[in-house]
Amino acid sequence: MLDSSPKAFIAEPSLLRGHRVLITGAARGLGAEFAKAVIDSGARVVLSDVLLEQGQETARSLGERAHFVPVDLLNSQSTQDMVQAAVDWLGGLDAVVNNAAITNSGGVPMQNLSESVWDDVMAVNVKAPWMVSKFALPHLEKSPNARIVNLSSDTALWGAPNLMAYVASKGAIISMTRSMARELGSKGITVNAIAPGLTLVEATQYVPQHRHDHYMNGRAIPRAQYPQDLASTVLFLLSPASGFITGQVIPVNGGFVMN
């Protein structure tokens, strides 16, 4: 069985040259990895997150083409201010990666799930991507290569148990992606979603080992999944190469779920 990490990801420096990208939830984990890949591909990036110090440190580590803007995605005004600050620093906007999400309901049967947890998960995972996209829309309309990439999850494709709020929110992202794609296609904006499998990041370190083993053993490529496994898909969906692809959901999970 494979147990090695993926080969080092090497970005094409000119792929996104001149592009201006906003990534939410980018202080750490997948968002930070996406920001690094996008910058390595020639773009300038605004990272946003509620994690102030960690976000600032991540942006500093990525160099002068990275900038951090704090945000509270539970607050509409904070979200709008964040988008405007991103546009001000970037001088416009070509792409949004709606990566920010919370789980909060892991291991909780549906009958024990609290209303407050449900509301928080839906607010961050569903309402916030809509708000970010809504506030970004007037700026994306001015771009010749406008892109929105939403992060779903393969749990929405197979129905993971005891994770109902999260699974429901990621299923909503799939439906929202398709609706947005229909609405925005005539404006020259593509909207697609990525559905990752269980990925080794800080947020998943508390997932029991037997769940990691279950995923790994069920994959056609039987190894752990790393953030860099997703980076090339994000770059493709942001690039001119994907200009006629919209409304699609791409599972990136080593073949655990085949859509």
- 8 Å CB contact between 149 and 193: yes
Residues present in the chain in total: 259
Active site residue 166: yes
Specify the pLDDT at position 1.
Answer: 43
* Residue 6 counted as domain residue: no
Question: Residue for token digits 């898909």?
Answer: 233
Q: What percent of the chain has pLDDT over 90?
A: 74
Angstrom distance (rounded) from CA 238 to CA 255:
23
Rg of the chain, C-alpha, whole Å: 17
Q: Give the residue-averaged pLDDT of 118-124.
A: 96
Q: What is the mean pLDDT of the chain?
A: 92
Number of compact structural domains in the chain: 1
Specify the pLDDT at position 10.
Answer: 67
- 8 Å CB contact between 249 and 174: yes
State yes or no: pLDDT of 3 exceeds 60: no
Q: Give the residue-averaged pLDDT of 241-252.
A: 96
- 8 Å CB contact between 74 and 11: no
* Residue 3 counted as domain residue: no
CA–chain centroid gap for 142, Å, is 23
* Residue 46 counted as domain residue: yes
The boundaries of the domain holding residue 229 are 20-252
* Residue 2 counted as domain residue: no
* Residue 259 counted as domain residue: no
Supply the CATH number for residue 175's domain. Answer: 3.40.50.720
> What digits encode the pLDDT tens for the residues 192-242?
999 998 887 766 666 667 777 777 788 888 888 888 889 999 999 999 999
CB-based burial of residue 201 (10 Å sphere; 0-12 exposed, 13-18 middle, 19+ buried)? middle
> What digits encode the pLDDT tens for the residues 134-190?
999 999 999 999 999 999 999 999 988 888 999 999 999 999 999 999 999 999 999
* Residue 25 counted as domain residue: yes
State which H helix or E strand residue 190 sits in: strand 190-196
Angstrom distance (rounded) from CA 190 to CA 173:
15
User: pTM of this prediction?
Assistant: 0.92
In this structure, the dihedral spanned by the alpha carbons of residues 29, 157, 129 and 197, taken in order and rounded to 10 degrees, is 10
- 8 Å CB contact between 119 and 170: no
Instruction: Exactly one of 166, 206, 215, 226 is catalytic; name it.
Output: 166
* Residue 248 counted as domain residue: yes
* Residue 199 counted as domain residue: yes
